[in-house]
Copies of this chain bind each other. A is one copy, B any other.
Amino acid sequence: MARRGRRPAGQGDTRESVLRAARELFAEVGFDRATIRAIAARAEVDPALVLHWFGTKDDLLAAALELPVDPSRILAGLDAESHLLGVEVARRVLLTFDASPEVRTRMAILLRTGLGHEHAAEALRDLIGRTVLTTLSDVARPDDRELRATLVSSQMVGLMLGRYVLQVPGLADAPVDQVVAAVGPVLQHYLRGDLRLPSAGTSRIRTAR
């Protein structure tokens, strides 16, 4: 089996199936343990072919790291004045992840590899920092914009880590609505609320009307 030379036509794009196998393995076991040989085996292909398509293992990671969805597309058309802004953000993000295994896989790659490999650490830093900052900057309050964006990111990343990657019991099996209800007001607070120290005055976070 697996004779030499070019394969007879008919089956799908080989390059794509290699990339899919790579994404799966990166998500499952991280960068170092996802060996090129294992990726090739899952794609039913020779190890050399992987590097023939992607050059080097780092390049393969870079190719696997692209975000599956444009964050600004998910969060388009938000009403900055609504007191349900935070809830709406939470709902959209949670629904996107709950609906698509593909999206969850990419996030798992980002988290698994972004904590050892500098190449991916930069991507993760970007997601938490710049990306969310730009997509939320026109609905967030103008003061402390950077802090607000990173706080939103930190809560969402922590949530995804627990719910989708680690699958912590109480969090992974909770219904979407419940999580949205709990987290929504928090995002509302981070986006539009008063971030100053409570002891210096009175501040309230309105979760709804």
Contacts and interface: CB of A to CB of B under 8 A. Distances in A.
A203 B197 contact: no
A153 interface: yes
Nearest to A170: B146
A113 B177 CA distance: 32
A41 interface: no
Q: How many copies of this chain does one complex carry?
A: 2
Given A32-B32, A128-B168, 4 more contacts: A128-B171, A154-B158, A182-B189, A203-B207
Contact of A204 (B111, B165, B183, B204): B204
B168 A161 contact: no
A168 B32 CA distance: 24
A163 B128 CA distance: 11
Interface residues on A, range: 35 or more
Contacts of A125: 166-169
Contacts of A128: 162, 166, 168, 171
Interface of A: 29-30, 32-33, 84, 87, 111-112, 114-116, 121, 124-125, 128-129, 133, 146-147, 149-151, 153-159, 161-163, 165-171, 174, 177-178, 180-186, 189-190, 193-199, 201-209
B166 A150 contact: no
A165 B133 CA distance: 19
B181 A116 contact: no
Contacts of A159: 154, 158
